[in-house]
C-alpha cells in the first residue's frame, strides 16, 4: 500500500494530502506535535461556517480550548468562533444546543437593534449561584472548524511561513482560571467541581426550593383569581384544583375518576368487547342462553305441577 508523499513549498509549510502541516512543541525540549489544516469546503453554504473564511484543523491536543486556538494564530488572524468536533461526553442533544447557542450569538451580533436597558435586581430576590465552569476534553485526534473574523485573513493563515509558529500556547501554572489547568490540577478541579461541599449544595437547594414555592404560591393565587370570572369574550376559564383530580370554574366541579375505577371500567369494557369477537364464542354464548332458558322452563313446570296438586276442587 503506497503512502501519500508530502510536498514542500519554498518558505512555506509542508503539505500532506491537501493539508498544511504545522509542527508545534508543548515546551522547548518536548517532542513535535503535528497539526493539519486546510480551507473548509462544503457542498452547501453554512452560515455558521462560511467556506470563504473557515479552516478545518485536525489532530488537536485533548485539552484544546478556544483560547488556545486564538493564541495560536495571534498576529496572523483573528478568530470569530471555534466549532469543536469529538468532544468527550457530547451527544446529539448537547451538540444541537451548542449550535443553537452559536446561531443566537450570531443573530445578536448581526442585529442592529438598540440594546434594551437592563433591569435592576431587587435585593429581596436571592441571587443565583454562579455555575462552576467545566473544562472540555477532546477525543484523540479531534478536529475543529475555525471561523475567521474577515475573509482576507484566510490567505494569511494558508500562507504561514515555516517557523512562524513553533510553540503551542503555554498556560500559566499559577493561574486561578480553570481553563489554564493541566495535568493533575485539571483532574483535581474536575473531581472537586462534581462533588461540591454539603453546605454549598444545601444553600443552592434551599434557594431553589424558596423560588419554587414562591412561584407555586403565585400560580395558585392567579388561578384562584380566575375562578368564576369571565374573560373579554364571556368565557369562564376552567382551572385545576387540588392534586390535579378536579376541574372547576368556581361554581361547578368535575372530578376525575380514580385509578381503581378507571382500571375496573377498562377491564369490564374489554370483557364485553372481546367476549363476542369470534363466531365460536357467539355460538357458545347462545347455547348457554338456551340451556339457561330450558332450566328455567323445567323449574316453572315443576312449580305449576305442585300448585295443581295443592289445589282442592270445591264446586260449592
CA angle at 264 for the pair 260 and 266, rounded to the nearest 5°: 115
79-109: pLDDT as tens digits: 999 989 888 776 666 666 666 766 676 666 6
Measured between alpha carbons, how far is 20 from 76 in angstroms, rounded to an integer? 15
Given a cut of 90, is residue 209 above it in pLDDT?
yes
Measured between alpha carbons, how far is 228 from 238 in angstroms, rounded to an integer? 8
Contact 11, 162 (CB under 8 A): yes
Nearest residue to 71 via CA among 178, 180, 154:
180
Measured between alpha carbons, how far is 86 from 140 in angstroms, rounded to an integer? 8
> What is the band of 140 on the pLDDT scale with cuts at 50, 70, 90?
confident
Read off the pLDDT of each residue in 196-213 and give the average, rounded to a whole number. Answer: 88
Measured between alpha carbons, how far is 57 from 59 in angstroms, rounded to an integer? 7
Read off the pLDDT of each residue in 120-134 and give the average, rounded to a whole number. Answer: 51
Given a cut of 80, is residue 204 above it in pLDDT?
yes
**pLDDT reported for residue 196:** 79
The per-residue pLDDT of the chain, averaged, comes to 77
Query: Which cell numbers in the block locate residue 52?
Result: 470563504
More confident residue, 137 or 83: 83
> What is the band of 124 on the pLDDT scale with cuts at 50, 70, 90?
very low
216-262: pLDDT as tens digits: 998 888 877 766 677 777 777 665 555 555 555 555 566 666 667 76
Measured between alpha carbons, how far is 55 from 76 in angstroms, rounded to an integer? 13
Amino acid at each position: 500500500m503506497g503512502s501519500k508523499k508530502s510536498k514542500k513549498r519554498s518558505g512555506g509549510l509542508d503539505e500532506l494530502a491537501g493539508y498544511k502541516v504545522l509542527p508545534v512543541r508543548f515546551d522547548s525540549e518536548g517532542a513535535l506535535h503535528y497539526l493539519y489544516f486546510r480551507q473548509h469546503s462544503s457542498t452547501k453554504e453554512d452560515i455558521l461556517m462560511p467556506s470563504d473564511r473557515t479552516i478545518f484543523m485536525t489532530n488537536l491536543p485533548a485539552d484544546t480550548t478556544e483560547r488556545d486556538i486564538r493564541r495560536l494564530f495571534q498576529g496572523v488572524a483573528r478568530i470569530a468562533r471555534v466549532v469543536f468536533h469529538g468532544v468527550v461526553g457530547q451527544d446529539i442533544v448537547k451538540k444541537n444546543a451548542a449550535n443553537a447557542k452559536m446561531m443566537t450569538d450570531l443573530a445578536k451580533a448581526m442585529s442592529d437593534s438598540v440594546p434594551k436597558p437592563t433591569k435592576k435586581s431587587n435585593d429581596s430576590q436571592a441571587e443565583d449561584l454562579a455555575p462552576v465552569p467545566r473544562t472540555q476534553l477532546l477525543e484523540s485526534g479531534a478536529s475543529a472548524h475555525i471561523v475567521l473574523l474577515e475573509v482576507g485573513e484566510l490567505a494569511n493563515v494558508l500562507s504561514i511561513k515555516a517557523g512562524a509558529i513553533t510553540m503551542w500556547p503555554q498556560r500559566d501554572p499559577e493561574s486561578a482560571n480553570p481553563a489554564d489547568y493541566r495535568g493533575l490540577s485539571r483532574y483535581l478541579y474536575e473531581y472537586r467541581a462534581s462533588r461540591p461541599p454539603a453546605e454549598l449544595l444545601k444553600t443552592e437547594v434551599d434557594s431553589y426550593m424558596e423560588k419554587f414555592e414562591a412561584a407555586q404560591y403565585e400560580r395558585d393565587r392567579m388561578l384562584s383569581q380566575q375562578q368564576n370570572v369571565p374573560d373579554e369574550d364571556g368565557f369562564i376559564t376552567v382551572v385545576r384544583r387540588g392534586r390535579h383530580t378536579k376541574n372547576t370554574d368556581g361554581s361547578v366541579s368535575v372530578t376525575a375518576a380514580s385509578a381503581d375505577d378507571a382500571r375496573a371500567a377498562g377491564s369490564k369494557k374489554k370483557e364485553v368487547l372481546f367476549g363476542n369477537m369470534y363466531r365460536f364464542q357467539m355460538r357458545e354464548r347462545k347455547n348457554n342462553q338456551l340451556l339457561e332458558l330450558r332450566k328455567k322452563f323445567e323449574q316453572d313446570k315443576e312449580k305449576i305441577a305442585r300448585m295443581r296438586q295443592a289445589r282442592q276442587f270445591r264446586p260449592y
